Amino acid sequence: MKRNSGKSWLSVPYIVWMLLFSIIPLCIVIYYAFTDSLTGEFTFSNITGILDYATIFLRSIWLSVAATIICLIIGYPVAYTIARCKPRTQRMLQMLVMLPMCMSFLLRTLAWVALLEDTGIINNIITSLGLQPLPLIRNSGAVILGMVYNYLPYMILPLYTVISKINPRLIEAAEDLGCSKAKTFTKVILPLSVPGIISGITMVFVPAVSTFYISQKLGSTGTVMVGDIIESQFKGAYNPNLGAAMSLILMILIFICIGITNRVAGDEEEVMMP
């Protein structure tokens, strides 16, 4: 502790940044969440009013959990493969993973709309073959697809970083001691990549659960998510109080979800400690 105190001023810019752009706005959110939109008096009605929208919260969590799991299932093998390549190839593949992120997120989602629509590219090909168009867009599946597509790099990159840092000698040692390939994976590689899995899950789940654009473009009138409602409260309906209350509840729910993940994974890490 003492050793670091001389350099503590280095963290001042970040603390100021946090104070200005995270803590103070958070206080404003809390203030709005507990005041009435017309009279400005203290009230719990915004928070209790949220119960009416419980289904929206459940739907958001369910859709983003599904997207996170799919991201993990697709992302892990990719990250593992990249980490096992030659350094030159690794750099190139890493660039390829990040390539879609260079384009605007809105544009990428709109591109999916153009592909999946009833009169979109895929259905045009299908109908030109004389078949009936498929209902590709405006369902939960399309929303999950959009989220997976947009957030997959956030899963692959932390996984790749952690997996590539695993000391190859540990793997050799496991093999020397008679572990099969599958055993080496489950006993050595998988437990060692848990920190990557946790940060991957967090980095996908948090933006996914609060997303608002993807569900508007790819979802139906029945797949509205919390983000959409919060956006509409601030943008059109001019009821920032309800919007703030929803943001607050969403934040708490996100913390709970992250807590569960850390709890499950934390136990695993402890097991690995020698």
Partner 1 sequence: MIRSKLFCIPAATLLAAAEVSASAAFSYMPVQAAQTSLNVYNWGQYISDGTDGYIDVIAEFEAAYPDIKVNYMTFDSNETMYTKLKTDPAAFDLIIPSDYMIEKLARENMLAELDFDNIPNFEYVDEAFRHPAFDPENKYSVPYTWGCVGIIYNSRYVNEDDVTGWELLWNPTYAGKILMFDNPRDAFAVAELELGYSLNTEDPEILQAATQKLIEQKNLVQSYVMDQIFDKLERGEAWIGPYYAGDYLTMVEENEDLEFLFPEEGFNLFIDSCCIPKQAQHKKEAELFINFLLDPAVCGQNLEYLGYSVPETAAKEFMDPEVTESEIAYPDDETLSHGEAFKALTDQGNQLMNELWLTVKTSDDVLGRYIIITVAAIILCIGLWLFFKVRKRIIKARRGTYK
Binding site for partner 1 (CB under 8 A): 37-38, 52-53, 55-56, 58-59, 61-62, 65, 117-119, 138, 216, 220-222, 224, 228-229, 232-239, 260, 263-264, 267-268, 270-271
CB of 142 to partner 1, least distance (A): 12
CB of 184 to partner 1, least distance (A): 18
CB of 161 to partner 1, least distance (A): 24
In the complex with partner 1, the residue whose CB is nearer, 17 or 62, is: 62
| CA gap 44, 47 in Å, rounded | 5
Compute CA distances 146 → 63, 125, 136, whole Å. Answer: 11, 21, 12
In the complex with partner 1, the residue whose CB is nearer, 161 or 216, is: 216
In the complex with partner 1, the residue whose CB is nearer, 2 or 263, is: 263
CB of 233 to partner 1, least distance (A): 8
In the complex with partner 1, the residue whose CB is nearer, 55 or 132, is: 55
Q: Which residue in 257, 247, 237, 202 sits closest to 53, CA to CA? A: 247
> Are 146 and 217 spatial neighbours (Cβ–Cβ below 8 Å)?
yes
| CA gap 261, 194 in Å, rounded | 11
CB of 1 to partner 1, least distance (A): 30
In the complex with partner 1, the residue whose CB is nearer, 164 or 210, is: 210
